[in-house]
Amino acid sequence: MTPPFAVRGFDHLALPVVDMARALAFYRDVLGCAVTAEYPEDALVRLAVGDADLFLVDVTAPGGAWARPPAGPGRNLDHLCIALEACGEAALRRHLAAHGLDIIEERVGNNRHGPTLSLYVHDPEGTQVELLLPLA
């Protein structure tokens, strides 16, 4: 049976963090995601990632306990992928290096948007972040 709706895309992704300052420095300052709101009662900062939102939740604060991952299997994430606008590959690599980020993996491929280069880095919490650069 076909669903009675169409998927538009991701609305948001919530990431538990233990060092909000380092997480903000990475997503805001290194990747350029603008802070669009702060919710201190939930220990949450909302950043814009294109048409979607990224919620950083400080799980060390009482208000962020709701996002604290369990000790066992369950709530988890392999990686998140942030699609970039076209830019010079060399400039992107220099930018990452200037911020002390090691590229842990890279792949050239084709996705639904055409030829791409994926550069994988870790955010300050250890979450693997794929930066997807269009090649065409």
The three-point CA angle 127-131-132 to 5° equals: 140
The three-point CA angle 18-14-5 to 5° equals: 175
- 38 versus 11: which is more confidently predicted? 38
E-strand ranges in 8-101 read 12-17, 35-39, 44-49, 52-58, 79-83
52 and 11 in contact (C-beta within 8 Å)?
yes
Q: How confident is the model at residue 19 (pLDDT cuts 50, 70, 90)?
A: very high
Q: Rounded to whole angstroms, what are the CA distances from 85 to 9, 92, 116, 132?
A: 17, 11, 11, 9
Which domains does the chain possess?
A: 1-68 (3.10.180.10), 78-136 (3.10.180.10)
Q: How far apart are CA 86 and CA 55, in angstroms?
A: 25
pLDDT of residue 55: 93
pLDDT of residue 9: 76
pLDDT tens profile 39-73: 999 999 999 999 899 999 999 999 998 888 776 55
Q: How confident is the model at residue 8 (pLDDT cuts 50, 70, 90)?
A: confident
Q: How confident is the model at residue 7 (pLDDT cuts 50, 70, 90)?
A: confident
pLDDT tens profile 125-134: 888 899 989 9
Q: Is the pLDDT of residue 5 over 70?
A: no
